[in-house]
Structure 1
């Protein structure tokens, strides 16, 4: 794809630059190896000595996100029932790299790519308890620490639907024809245009690239909290459709608590929309494994 994409970097952080920034600002880490882990939409990520992970914003928009993590994540500890990356090292911009950066505890694990259904089902109650506790965090405290309110407009079902239809109509985006038809049929039957707002603190971007699993498939941690915001719990509950097979969803919702049909509608929509974006980036960057998982997520989300 030759177009300008929202995941294109505005700043490149090489291994040499990352090492220089980390060693100069945190000399206690200078004996540890720095190795590149990869790029997300917003940050370039490096592991330091298998103990810490550093995230460097690669787009201007990511600066506010990483600053929010630094303020709010330390307050979430009593509410979180799964491991998460805890901010420890607050880096400052310099002449070589003008942006702040952040170092966290490192959580070992892999993205849940190709995970079998039985392993996904085994995590249903763990994920439900995790989200039930996260969504109980005091909204006012989150607001006082700068958490925005639905900054991505995820409750605008009509606008989200139109954007997804535009993606499908773009012949430069190489969706498989079966996926394209499946999504088109789903959107055609989606009659709701707006969801009534609700307010909880949510992770805000809970998908397979922000989840880590151990070799046995158990959830090892939740990462990348930069999109934390006050919004509708359905956005996080999308994990019931994107990660879990259909037979595990009822148990998930029972463990989480009462969930109305409008919330489930939003959850399923987000479970299709976000993987479409991930698929587009993965195809653009040549990451076939992630693209295959994103495609599988869409099919799983739309399975009854």
Structure 2
């Protein structure tokens, strides 16, 4: 099990206030004096809430630095397509650059009010499953040749077989999943590998779509966040959310509303859901929410009689 990487730069409130004073006062007057509090620290970035309506997103290691630049480059266009549906994305308000002792690009983005869909009972997500399908229909449009590249997301499934099967062996040796479950999940994965691959031009994909990156409010979908893995390729990677975010009822409504995808896309999407479930189970020992997501997604993949 890999440990969470150490931060390669010290991020604290004084540093952020210096960055805000130097670079954010034009777009957000008074930004450096607003209330500031750290709200999240992942493997790649830290997020600090700024006042009531903004957040500061800063990479904590060099490997993640390009992710913020990708968001800065593409999110305005994506927001223009999704906002008419009433679903917000964190398109940067401030395109921060290195300075004041901080070495990489950083952003100030809108704070999207609501709660993680991960914290919403799965049965209550069904009502907005068709809206998420509409969102993906608007997102999955042809991307330009210079789109951000991602070696892990949106590529042919066959490129990830070694990693998927290695995680399965590891989980079996640790006793995390029983042999029957692992055999079933690997069967789903191999069916996806055998399906006809994506043959159309690459389309924009979120690249990390699961209920931890969906924001719900007042019983509907309010936002899609964390586009650090944004890239282009096979939309099946995003469509795996059908098994990651929904139960059978929600998944049925999602798939019915997600028009324009052929049967092979859904076979590949279910395979990606199996792969993500295995990844979460293998790498979330220190995060019970995501371990539970992996466990539940594995069960949804196995129990789906439609696919």
In structure 2, the partner of 1:183 is 182
Q: Write the distance in 2 (CA, Å) between the matches of 1:152 and 1:105.
A: 28
Cα 1:277–1:118 shift into 2, 3 Å:
same
Q: Write the distance in 2 (CA, Å) between the matches of 1:153 and 1:287.
A: 22
- Write out per-residue CA displacement over residues 210-255 of structure 1, whole angstroms, 9 at most, x where no aligned residue: 11122x4422210011222121111111111211212333332232
Cα 1:247–1:299 shift into 2, 3 Å:
same
Give the 5 Å matches for 1:279-294: 279-283=281-285, 286-294=286-294
Q: Which SS does the other structure have where 2:193 is aligned?
A: coil
In structure 2, the partner of 1:74 is 76
Q: Write the distance in 1 (CA, Å) between the matches of 2:155 and 2:23.
A: 41
Which runs of 5 or more residues in structure 1 are unaligned?
Answer: none
Verify: 1:37 aligned to 2:39, yes or no. Answer: yes
1:22–1:29 CA contact under 8 A, matched in 2: yes
- Write out per-residue CA displacement over residues 135-181 of structure 1, whole angstroms, 9 at most, x where no aligned residue: 13x523xx4xx413563264432342331221232269966334x64
Q: Write the distance in 2 (CA, Å) between the matches of 1:175 and 1:9.
A: 31
Q: Write the distance in 1 (CA, Å) between the matches of 2:32 and 2:149.
A: 39
Single out whichever of 263-272 and 146-155 deviates more from structure 2.
146-155
In structure 2, the partner of 1:296 is 296
- Write out per-residue CA displacement over residues 110-138 of structure 1, whole angstroms, 9 at most, x where no aligned residue: 222353343121111111111111113x5
Q: Write the distance in 2 (CA, Å) between the matches of 1:223 and 1:170.
A: 31
In structure 2, the partner of 1:276 is 278
Q: Displacement, 1:107?
A: 0.4
Q: Write the distance in 1 (CA, Å) between the matches of 2:256 and 2:183.
A: 30
Q: Displacement, 1:196?
A: 3.4
What's the TM-score once normalised by structure 2's chain length? 0.84
- Write out per-residue CA displacement over residues 18-75 of structure 1, whole angstroms, 9 at most, x where no aligned residue: 3333344334212211101112232111110121111101232322221121121112
Which runs of 5 or more residues in structure 2 are unaligned?
Answer: none
Q: Write the distance in 2 (CA, Å) between the matches of 1:161 and 1:133.
A: 30
Verify: 1:255 aligned to 2:263, yes or no. Answer: no
Q: Write the distance in 2 (CA, Å) between the matches of 1:213 and 1:174.
A: 35
Cα 1:13–1:173 shift into 2, 3 Å:
farther
In structure 1, the partner of 2:143 is 139
Q: Write the distance in 2 (CA, Å) between the matches of 1:197 and 1:9.
A: 40
| Equivalent residue in structure 2 for 1:207, among 210, 225, 240 | 210
Q: Write the distance in 2 (CA, Å) between the matches of 1:68 and 1:54.
A: 16
Cα 1:85–1:271 shift into 2, 3 Å:
same
In structure 2, the partner of 1:58 is 60
In structure 1, the partner of 2:24 is 26
Q: Which SS does the other structure have where 1:45 is aligned?
A: strand
Alpha carbon RMSD of aligned pairs, Å?
A: 2.6
Cα 1:197–1:229 shift into 2, 3 Å:
farther
What's the TM-score once normalised by structure 1's chain length? 0.85
Q: Write the distance in 2 (CA, Å) between the matches of 1:173 and 1:57.
A: 34
Cα 1:66–1:8 shift into 2, 3 Å:
same
1:173–1:280 CA contact under 8 A, matched in 2: no
Q: Which SS does the other structure have where 2:303 is aligned?
A: coil
1:253–1:259 CA contact under 8 A, matched in 2: no
